[in-house]
Chains A and B, each alone.
Chain A
Amino acid sequence: DAGITQSPRHKVTETGTPVTLRCHQTENHRYMYWYRQDPGHGLRLIHYSYGVKDTDKGEVSDGYSVSRSKTEDFLLTLESATSSQTSVYFCAISESGETGQPQHFGDGTRLSIL
């Protein structure tokens, strides 16, 4: 299995609080991605990174920010969590951004916002 660790695995928090999810990889892959998975929507890309300090928006980036200060860590922050951000969040990595490169996924973080 690809060396991807997401933390925390589960979190319950209240509306309006800040939340940070962490993705840590041991593969030294250049590309890292954050997705959310909701019933009836499949996975949707939130943000991705193509190198240290290099990030870009995905399909559903509103309300989220990301940071990547080291190759191995990609952080997803909800500045002020809302109930609509209750979801399962997945991190993925790939060696490059070339089409056809396999993406390897972490086991997800289940986030509940009350």
Chain B
Amino acid sequence: KQEVTQIPAALSVPEGENLVLNCSFTDSAIYNLQWFRQDPGKGLTSLLLIQSSQREQTSGRLNASLDKSSGRSTLYIAASQPGDSATYLCAVDPYNFNKFYFGSGTKLNVKP
């Protein structure tokens, strides 16, 4: 059974700092990995999707990398802003059926 772990569980940084969120998974045989953002009381918003054949994806200030062999992904946020404050979740699809296993998330607080 695929286990997805996100460390740290919570992170507080000053505005403007570059930061890295980590995601690890136990079975490297995945088809894709997604990073999501969740605001309080809201559902999830997809940020980036990395297919198994890709090493990274970028969207604006966000860059996600994938190292399947080591079972790791990172989400890099450049020049963080208070509006980036949210919980970030990673999820892996191990069966090619678009059914995901989620980590428990990293709660990010960016202080003005």
Q: Does A16 contact B (CB under 8 A)?
A: no
User: Could you tell me the distance between the alpha carbons of A104 and B34 in the complex, rounded to whole angstroms?
Assistant: 12
Chain B: interface size category = 20 to 34
Question: Which of A45, A99, A107 touches B41 (beta carbons < 8 Å)?
Answer: A107
**Beta-carbon contact of A100 and B45 below 8 Å:** no
Question: Which of B31, B42, B89, B97 touches A107 (beta carbons < 8 Å)?
Answer: B42
Number of interface residues of A (CB under 8 A): 30
**Beta-carbon contact of B44 and A105 below 8 Å:** yes
Contact residues in A for B105 (Cβ distance below 8 Å): 42
Given contacts A99-B98, A100-B31, 8 further A-B contacts (CB under 8 A): A35-B102, A42-B103, A97-B97, A100-B98, A102-B49, A104-B46, A105-B43, A105-B45
Give me the 4 closest cross-chain CB pairs, A-B, nearest first: A105-B43, A42-B102, A43-B102, A42-B104
Which residues of A does B touch, CB under 8 Å?
A: 4, 31, 33, 35, 39-45, 48, 58-59, 90, 92, 94, 96-108
Which residues of B does A touch, CB under 8 Å?
A: 4, 31-32, 41-46, 49, 51, 89, 91, 93, 96-105
